[in-house]
Amino acid sequence: MEITHQVVVFDAADLNSESRFWAGVLGGTVDFEDDWRTVLVDGSAKVAVQLAPEHVPPQWPDGNPQQIHLDLWVADIEEAHEEVLALGAVLLKAVDDEAPGEGFRVYADPAGHPFCLCWVKRSDAA
């Protein structure tokens, strides 16, 4: 099998809000079609959003289960945290101990899809 193209697709009742959110997070632009939006970064499709008028957001961690989520590793968690909140994300779970090593925070995008901002803190004594 030869895969020539791949993209992660999110269902959403509000195409514009969801696609603008992911374009903001990924530093891309939105290509508009009738019931579909594609988020392009440097001309390549990274994620897409398809119209799902009856979409029910997952209720993480209890309730409607998530089907998929993205883990995004960031260089500066505090900067990334502020940016995704400004774009419309909701913090679902902050990690208990952020001091050593690696960690993650769980958020929901505007359509309620969970995603994680992850980081690795490296010590200078390596």
Which residue has better confidence, 53 or 58? 53
Task: Name the token pair of 101.
Answer: 């090593």
d(CA 52, CA 28): 22
Model confidence pLDDT, tens digit, residues 86-108: 999 999 988 766 556 788 899 99
43 φ/ψ sector (left φ>0, alpha ψ -120 to 50, else beta): left
Model confidence pLDDT, tens digit, residues 41-54: 999 999 999 999 99
Q: Which of 10, 27, 18 is nearest to 83 (CA)?
A: 27
pLDDT at position 124 is 55
pTM for the model? 0.81
115 near 24, Cβ under 8 Å?
no
